[in-house]
Each structure stands twice: as C-alpha cells, then as structure tokens.
Amino acid sequence: MDLAFTEEQNLLRDSVRKFVDSQYAISGRNKLSASAAGFSRDYWQQYAELGWLALPFSEADGGIGGTPVDTMVLMEEFGRGLVLEPYLATVVMFGSAISMAGNEAQRAELLPAIMDGSLMASFAYAEAQSHHDLNNIETSAAADGDGYLINGEKCVVLNGQSAGKLLVSTRTSGTSQDHTGITLFIVDAAASGIKRTDYPTVDGLRAADIKFTDVRVSAADQLGETGKGYAIVESIANRAILALAAEAVGAMEVLYQDTIAYTKQRRQFDHPLSEFQVLKHRMTEMFMEHALAKSLCMKATMLETQGSAETQRTIHALKYLIGKASRFVGQNAVQLHGGMGMTEELRVAHYFKRLMVIDSQFGNTDHHLERFVA
Amino acid sequence: MDIEFSTADLAFQQDVQAFIKANLPRGMDMWTKRSEWFQALRDKGGWDVAKWPVAFGGPGFTPTQRYIFDLEMSRNSTPPQIPFGVTMLAPILMNYGTREQQERFLPGIRDGSVNWCQGYSEPGAGSDLANLQTKAVLAADGSHYVVNGQKIWTTLAHIAHWMFCLVRTDNTGIKQEGITFLLIPMNDPGIEIKPIITLGGSHSVNEVYITDVKVPVADRIGEEGKGWTYAKGLLVHERTGLAGIQNSVLALSKARNNALQVKVGDGTLLDVPAFRNKLGALEAELLALEFTELRSLASVSAGSDPGPESSIMKLKGTEIQQRISELNLEAAGVYAAAWGEQVGPGFARAATSAYLGTRATTIFGGASEVQKDVIAKNVLGLG
Ligand SMILES: Cc1cc2nc3c(=O)[nH]c(=O)nc-3n(C[C@H](O)[C@H](O)[C@H](O)COP(=O)(O)OP(=O)(O)OC[C@H]3O[C@@H](n4cnc5c(N)ncnc54)[C@H](O)[C@@H]3O)c2cc1C
C-alpha cells in the first residue's frame, strides 16, 4: 500500500494552489460570478495552457493520462478557492463521458476542442420528476429517418449558459423508471428546437432549464449503444460525485480553518472565543468531519482508479458522508462567526452556499445512504 | 389536571376565530388592506396591541387568552407587526418612561406611523452586550448628551424613524452599571447608515454610525446608568417571541405538503422513509414544545413565574425552525440550487432562501451557545 501522492500530483497541487491563492480572493471571485459570463474565459484559457483541461484524458486521445486521483487533487484545490470555471461540467462530466463511451470520430472531434479550451459543455440529466434518480427519464428520443427527434425538458443543467455541446440522457424505449431503454446523445447547444432558461445558482454558479422540442440529432450524435446509456450515466455520476466530494473537502478545509482563525481573534467576555470549551469542541468536531470526509474521498477515488468492485458502494457512502459533513461544517462555521457569518462580505457565507448546493447534486445524503445500506 | 381549555376560554377562542374569519384580508389584499386589518383589531377593543395592559389601551387579556390569541393569529398567518415598537420598546416605556414620553411615543408605535429599530449590538459587543462602548457624555449644562459610537446588525435601521439605544455613560464601575437607555432620532445629521448584505443577498441589517448626536435628557428612559436593567427585561420579551412555535407548526404542515408534490419513483417524497422520519421527528418534538409552552402558561396563570421550562423555548424553537428549512431544501431536490428566476417547484426558491435566512435565528436574540450557558447558570445552578 502506498497512500503518498506522486511527484506529479504534488506539482499539480502546488500549481493549482498557487493559481487559486493568487487569482481567487473572494472579492474578485464574487465579481467574476456576477459578470455576464459568470466566470473568466481568460482563466479557462490558462487552464488549457497549464494542461488542466487535458488532465483525465488518455495519452492516445492527446491528453495527459491522469487518473481520478489527479482530478481529486485538482478539485480539492478548486474547492479551496470556490473556482467558477465550468471544469466539472466540461471536463469531468462531458469529457469523461466522451472518453469512456465515445467512438473514434467523437473522441477525435470533441476531446481536442475541450483540451484546447475552445469547447465548453454540459451534461443534461435531471428532470422535474426524477428527484435524484438518474434513470427516471421522460425526455424521449424517437427514431426519425436516419436520426432521432428529442422532446422533453431537462433541469438545473450546470453551465447550460456557456455550453457549446450538451450531452442529453433520453428514453428510446420503456417507461420513465426503467434502467434500460436509455440512450445518450451529443446535441449542439444551438440546434433548433432548444429553448434555454438561464439562471444563477445560489452558490454563484450558473445553470439552465432546457426544453427540447423536436430537436433533430443524427445517428452519429449517439453516444454508446441504443438503450444501454444508463451505465454511462452512472459512470459520469460517479466521476462527478468524486470530483464534487474533493471540491467539498477543499471547501470544508477553508471553513474549519477560517473558523479557528476567527475565534482566536474575536474577543467577547474578555476572552478570545477560541478559549470557550464548547467552541473548542465544536471546532474539533468540524475538523473530525473534514478528516473523515477526506479519508473516504481518497478511498473511493483510489477504488475508482483501480476499477474495484467495491467502488459503487463506497461512492454511495462517500456522497452520504460528504453531505453530512458539509452540513455540519458549513452550519457551524456560520454559527461560530456569529453575525459576521451571516454577511456576504466574509467568504464563509460563500463556502457555506457552495456546500449546500453540492448536497443537492447527484443525490443527497438520504438518497445515497439508502443505496449504501441496500 | 385538565388538558382542555375552560368553557370561557373556549368561547374566547371561538370569538377570535370568528373575528379572523370576518376580517382577515386574503391573498393580495393581505398587503393592500393591512391597515384595515389593524383598524379592525383596534376597534375590537385593543386587539391590535394584544400584549398591552388596559391602562394603555390594551385588551387586558389573561395569560391564557393571550396564548389563544397568539395561537389563532399564527395559525391563520395574519399580517405580522414589526416587533421593535409594539413588542419591545412599548413595555419599557410603560414601565420606566415618564408620562410625557408615553404620550409622545406610544400612539405612533400603536398606529404604526413611527418605525423603531433596536440599537444594542456593537462590533465589540455581541454576545457580550454589556461591553458596549458607544459613548454618551452629559453636556455641562445638563440639558443633553453628546453621543458617539457605532452600532451594528441594526435591523431595519434604514426605514426607522427612531432607534432605542444602549449607550455608555460611565466607565468606572462594572460594565453593566454604566449603561443608559436613550431614544435617538434617525434623521439626525450625525447618523449614518450603511447596509449589510446577508446570506442570500438581502438587506435588513445595517451598521449605524453615530457622530456628535445631541440627545436631550428628556429622551433618556429612566435613570442614567440603569439602562441594562431596563433592557434585560426587554430581552426576555424578545426571546419568548423568537421561538415561533405556531409558525413552525404551520411551516411543518407546509413542508409535508411540499413533500407530497415531489414525485419519487411511483410515490412521493413522503413515502421515502428517511424523509418521513425526519418530518415525524419534528412533529413529535413540536408537540412537546407546544405543551412546554402550555406548562409555562399554566404556571403564569396560577400566579407563579413562567417556570424553568420556558428558558428552553427560544433554543429549541429556533433549532426546529432550522430543521424544517432543511426539509424544504431537501424537498426542492436539484432545484435547491436555483436562484433568481422562478424555476422548479413553486416552493423551491423560498426554501433555499429560508434555509439561508434561518441560520440567523440561532445567532440573534442570544446565540444558542450563550443561551445554554445562561440556562446552565440560572436554571441549573451550574456556576
Ligand atoms: C439577522 C440579524 C439581525 C439582528 N438584529 C439586531 C438588532 O436589530 N439590534 C441589535 O442590537 N442586534 C441585532 N443583531 C445582533 C445579534 O444580537 C448578535 O449577532 C448576537 O448577539 C451575537 O453577537 P455576535 O454576532 O457579535 O457574535 P459573537 O458574540 O461574536 O459570537 C460568535 C459565536 O461565539 C459564541 N460565543 C460567544 N460567547 C460565547 C461564550 N461565552 N461561550 C460559548 N460560546 C460563545 C456565540 O454563541 C456564537 O456562536 C442581529 C443579528 C443578526 C444576525
């Protein structure tokens, strides 16, 4: 067993951390978030130049050939900075779907465009009735000549606003809750019949509800086999959960450390807050929650890297634990900052909101605990 | 023991219910017909100031009547009153103000024409309120104070005409003894208000900077140096009001309805055991908290103190408010993230907003950690 990071991973961590520390002070971050795009295209281009956009793709596809552990290292640092660029949507979700399930032509067309920064993308999977069930899909793709017509509506599509391509989960047969009969399509975001409603998310990112009315796709746009898309959806979700978990671990670290720093400096009743036993214990618990979440995040990521049979179950445990830890750490960071914790001026509020959103994505604590114990 | 209200109290309850049915504006009228509602309450015999004594135009409710009145008002979501004047300052004016002050300020408080804000907290005085440093110096001729300092977290200062304020008039003795209670007009040129934007982007609290504001001695409440004693009585009023039990009962039944709208598989979110159990646990705890309030009420009705149980109301009540907001957030599913546009289930936007906003309930009006210290000391005798 070897739990040490490789030299490359340490270098990656250092370079992402350096970037985040120099470019992602909270005031600048919030200004970016409020801008029309909601993130920086310049930064995105820098990510391309630094090779971060090529991280998970195989060398055969022109990538760096990183593993999920490398993505974890990067996402944890992104979490420390509440990075806004659509890395999760484009590289982790869309990108890994193409690299895992794309054919030669799809990989050759799409992956280089992701890696050089010219293509941003989204994965449109959730629907109003699906709650957290990824297989619960009503959006239909009906055969039409040599292609398909897509009809339906996807919700809270992350990064929908800037995506050039959408990966859409559809139903080609069966009823809404079947695991079979699901087929994925790569759809041009500008295709006719697509109507998007863009909105900010509470954590300062962007999402969209996307309505598909007779949107035509060709057979060449299909990702993977007809009716067997659920396995791909699940794989994307797993990669997304691992990335979100790493991001949450980074965000929790900032929160518990900021809370320690604040309580050392804030005085009430002639003492620093950090001297009150109940607060010491609370911060110790925040630290424990973070440490355990980080451990399980590492374990699940390593299992995924190895393709272990235990991966799926561990990912359920992970998403449960991340949700629970995030809530505890987030709520107590606000609480221990008192009124200051309620202000948008301190960064605590923004990390709190990001963690709250992470629990709502790809299944919340209840959803995953139920599957873990099943 | 008898778990039912007396026949007289039941008759009173029916009277309140009938009144609400006849007078409560519905839907959009809730906003436009606000003043008609308060006028009707007033005409009914001082029901607009239900907690005020008869001498000041109140209805003179017994403790049980007051409980029933609050219960019915909350159950029916009647228009709320901004508490600063009616609930918080008025009792202080009645107990410690001069007749002149009562005549000058109570009518504006009662008819809602004068807004008040509470200027207690300061950057260095939050949980440790007695540490406040805003300074009031009595002029040589004894006619007025000159006030300098800064308040923070002042709710609705930006729409207030007046602020009731704790200031320091003496630095020599123990902290609590040098505090004086002043009324300060917000239109004084020496008052500067800066908004503080809180979680979720809303503006309700402010920083208030006070520079060389002259406050006539006539606008001091009671004696110099006694402000702490007056305010402490008031804080008790604030805390019992903050438990929001009936609001939580209502909020919980709404949460149940929200969950019923959320499809999960072939059923709804209410069929998901983890969710249903959390909802049920809250219902059980709320039943207990409601009855705790009744125990306290019984004790007051019998002429005793509210009893040690009453000290837990704010602590437990605010915890429950927060947990209900978590349920709604979970019911919103992926739409919990959405912000801005109205998308997803109708309740989603409010759920996210409430989850953020209710974080403050365990911070203001006595932060929970500090409340527990107070209970440990005063109720349990633990040091
Ligand atoms: C939305 C909102 C509205 C408000 N409205 C008003 C208003 O209108 N007027 C007004 O005057 N004030 C108002 N306040 C201020 C409120 O009363 C204070 O925020 C509160 O007293 C806590 O003080 P603080 O924020 O300075 O936190 P701090 O006192 O710094 O406390 C920070 C944390 O430390 C903990 N702590 C402090 N002391 C101890 C101790 N001895 N032992 C253990 N733990 C401790 C607290 O529990 C808290 O978790 C408002 C606050 C908020 C958030």
* Residue A314 sits in the same domain as residue A346: yes
End-of-domain residue from the set A119, A139, A162: A119
Which atom of ligand 1 is least distant from the CA of B157? Answer: 8
Strands (E), chain A: 121-124, 140-144, 147-158, 165-171, 182-188, 194-200, 206-218, 222-223, 267-268, 271-272
Of residues B304 and B83, more confidence is placed in B83
Considering only CB atoms, B335 lies closest to which of A156, A338, A359, namely A156
φ, ψ at B101 (rounded to 5°): -65, -40
d(CA A323, CA A358): 8
* Residue A111 sits in the same domain as residue A128: no
pLDDT of B166 higher than 60: yes
Instruction: Count how many domains chain A has.
Output: 3
| Tokens coding B340 | 């801005």
B121–A343 C-beta distance less than 8 A: no
* Residue A241 sits in the same domain as residue A359: yes
* Residue A250 sits in the same domain as residue A296: yes
pLDDT of residue B171: 93
* B234: confidence class by pLDDT, cuts 50, 70, 90: low
Q: B340 to chain A: which residues are within 8 Å by CB?
A: 199-200
| Tokens coding A10 | 């340490």
Q: Do domains B116-225 and B244-378 have the same CATH topology?
A: no
CATH of the domain at A160: 2.40.110.10
Residue nearest to atom 24 of ligand 1 (CA): B126
Is residue A64 a part of any domain in this protein? yes
Instruction: Name the nearest CA neighbour of B61 among B297, B305, B239.
Output: B297
pLDDT in tens, B172-215: 999 999 999 999 999 999 999 999 999 988 999 999 999 999 99
pLDDT in tens, A29-79: 999 999 999 999 999 999 999 999 999 999 999 999 999 999 999 999 999
Mean pLDDT of A270-283: 98
Q: A370 to chain B: which residues are within 8 Å by CB?
A: 272-274
pLDDT in tens, B52-61: 999 999 999 9
Which atom of ligand 1 is least distant from the CA of B117? Answer: 8
pLDDT in tens, A86-129: 999 999 999 999 999 999 999 999 999 999 999 999 999 999 99
| Tokens coding B54 | 């008869």
pLDDT of residue B224: 97
pLDDT in tens, B109-145: 999 999 999 999 999 999 999 999 999 999 999 999 9
Instruction: Name the nearest CA neighbour of B79 among B117, B116, B26, B115.
Output: B26
* Residue A174 sits in the same domain as residue A247: no
* B235: confidence class by pLDDT, cuts 50, 70, 90: low
Instruction: Measure B363 CA to nearest chain A CA, in Å.
Output: 6
Pocket of ligand 1 (CB under 6 A): A 266, 268-269, 273, 276, 278-279, 335-336, 338-339, 342; B 117-121, 126-127, 153-155, 205, 360, 363-364, 367, 369-370, 373
φ, ψ at A166 (rounded to 5°): -120, 135
**Any idea where the domains of chain B sit in the sequence?**
7-80, 116-225, 244-378
Is residue A2 a part of any domain in this protein? no
| Tokens coding A285 | 């618990």
Distance A275 CA to ligand 1 centre (A): 17
Is residue A92 a part of any domain in this protein? yes
Q: How many CA atoms lie within 13 A of A159 on its CB side?
A: 24
pLDDT in tens, A293-319: 999 999 999 999 999 999 999 999 999
d(CA A46, CA A116): 10
* Residue A11 sits in the same domain as residue A64: yes
Instruction: Measure B370 CA to nearest chain A CA, in Å.
Output: 10
How high is the ipTM of this complex?
A: 0.96
pLDDT of A267 higher than 80: yes
pLDDT in tens, A208-246: 999 999 999 999 999 999 999 999 999 999 999 999 999
* Residue A43 sits in the same domain as residue A76: yes
Residue nearest to atom 26 of ligand 1 (CA): B126
* Residue A282 sits in the same domain as residue A320: yes
CATH of the domain at A69: 1.10.540.10
- Kindly report the pTM of this predicted structure: 0.97
pLDDT of B21 higher than 60: yes
End-of-domain residue from the set A172, A203, A227: A227
Considering only CB atoms, A342 lies closest to which of B198, B269, B330, namely B198
d(CA A250, CA B291): 44
Mean pLDDT of B275-303: 92
pLDDT of B239 higher than 70: no
Best residue among B116, B118, B121 to mutate for probing ligand 1, ranked by most atoms within 8 Å of CB: B121
Based on the number of CB atoms within 10 Å of its own CB, is A1 exposed (0-12), middle (13-18) or buried (19 or more)? exposed
pLDDT of A140 higher than 70: yes
A/B interface, count of CB pairs below 8 Å: 138
pLDDT of B338 higher than 60: yes
* B31: confidence class by pLDDT, cuts 50, 70, 90: confident
Is the separation of the CB atoms in A342 and B359 below 8 Å?
yes
Is residue A206 a part of any domain in this protein? yes
pLDDT of residue B233: 72
* Residue A75 sits in the same domain as residue A203: no
Mean pLDDT of A253-272: 98
Distance A336 CA to ligand 1 centre (A): 9
pLDDT of residue A97: 98
A356–B355 C-beta distance less than 8 A: yes
pLDDT in tens, B351-379: 999 999 999 999 998 899 999 998 999 88
pLDDT of B237 higher than 60: no
Is residue A29 a part of any domain in this protein? yes
End-of-domain residue from the set A194, A227, A260: A227
* Residue A52 sits in the same domain as residue A128: no
CATH of the domain at A263: 1.20.140.10
The CA distances from residue A207 to A89, A121, A157, A186, A195, in Å, are 10, 12, 5, 18, 13
* Residue A323 sits in the same domain as residue A366: yes
Instruction: Measure A108 CA to nearest chain B CA, in Å.
Output: 33
Residue nearest to atom 27 of ligand 1 (CA): A338
Is the separation of the CB atoms in A201 and A348 below 8 Å?
no
Based on the number of CB atoms within 10 Å of its own CB, is B226 exposed (0-12), middle (13-18) or buried (19 or more)? middle
The CA distances from residue A297 to A131, A239, B125, B325, in Å, are 24, 12, 41, 28
Class of domain B116-225: mainly beta
φ, ψ at A229 (rounded to 5°): -75, -20
Domain that holds residue A111: 7-119
Q: What mean pLDDT is reported for chain A?
A: 97
Among candidate residues B72, B122, B238, B330, the one labeled active-site is B238
Q: Please give the CATH number for the structural domain made up of B244-378.
A: 1.20.140.10
Mean pLDDT of B80-103: 94
* Residue A176 sits in the same domain as residue A77: no
Considering only CB atoms, A199 lies closest to which of B266, B341, B360, namely B341
A339–B153 C-beta distance less than 8 A: yes
- Please say if B238 is a catalytic residue: yes
Q: Exposure string (b/e) for A77-110, b if CB count within 10 Å is 16 or more? A: bbbbbbbbbbbbbbbbbbbbbbbbbbeeebbeeb
| Minimum CA–CA partner of B372 in chain A | A278
pLDDT of residue B236: 62
CB contact A352 to B (< 8 Å): yes
pLDDT of B30 higher than 80: no
Percent of chain B exceeding pLDDT 90 equals: 80
B-proximal residues of A, 144-203, CB under 8 Å: 155-156, 177, 197-203
pLDDT of residue B119: 98
pLDDT of residue B300: 79
pLDDT of residue A260: 98
Instruction: Name the nearest CA neighbour of A206 among A250, A144, A147, A163.
Output: A163
Is residue A1 a part of any domain in this protein? no
| Tokens coding A59 | 């060398």
pLDDT of residue B80: 87
